[in-house]
Structure 1
Amino acid sequence: MFDFDNPWFRPLWRRILVTVVALGWGVFEIFAGDPLFAILFLALGGYAAYRLFVTFNPRENP
């Protein structure tokens, strides 16, 4: 799906930003009244959090 092991994600602030934006957009969609996109973005944010913080292993040379 996405290459979360890309060296672009090495800085911690980028990993946090991607995760917070996805989860934040999901929360926004809840309050906007659109449950489909809320579920979509919350799932994407959860997957990003798992891949960027739990199983993150950047390649040394891409």
Structure 2
Amino acid sequence: MSEDKKPEKPEKPGFMTLGWFAPLYRRVILVAAIACWTLWEWFYNHDQFWGVLSLVMLAYGIWTFFITFDKTLEEVRKNAKPKS
């Protein structure tokens, strides 16, 4: 009997790995805006819910845009090339 293998679907690039985010200054501006929002919530509004939420978004932005961005973008570009 022959086994039917499903063709592997190439991994689609996520929103955070779009080429628009490739220049460093765009990532820095975005993370700085989130950092300002976090400071605003903690020191001006004293709202713990939005403060924690913005802090989590800041941590995710730092992780995504500065720690793993180059590796993930390289993988997406490698998988996007047509295989011959």
Q: Name segments (4+ residues, structure 1) moved above 6 Å.
A: none
For residue 43 of structure 1, what is the amino acid of its counterpart?
V
Q: Residue 55 of structure 1: which of 54, 62, 68 is its match?
A: 68
CA offsets 1:7-57 (integer angstroms, 9 cap, x no match) = 010111110011111121011100111111011111101101100011003
Alignment match, 2:34:
22
Aligned-pair identity in percent equals: 27
Distance of 2:65 and 2:46 partners within structure 1: 29
Larger-Rg structure: 2
Residue 3 of structure 1: how far off its partner (Å)? 1.8
**1:45 alignment counterpart:** 58
Q: Greater relative contact order: 1 or 2 (C-alpha under 8 angstroms, separation 6 or more)?
A: 1
Structure 1 unaligned residues grouped into runs of 5+: none
Question: Runs of 5+ in structure 2 lacking a partner?
Answer: 1-13
1:10 paired to 2:18: no
**How many residues were matched structurally?**
60
Q: Structure 2 CA distance, aligned partners of 1:15 and 1:7?
A: 11
TM-score by length of 2: 0.64
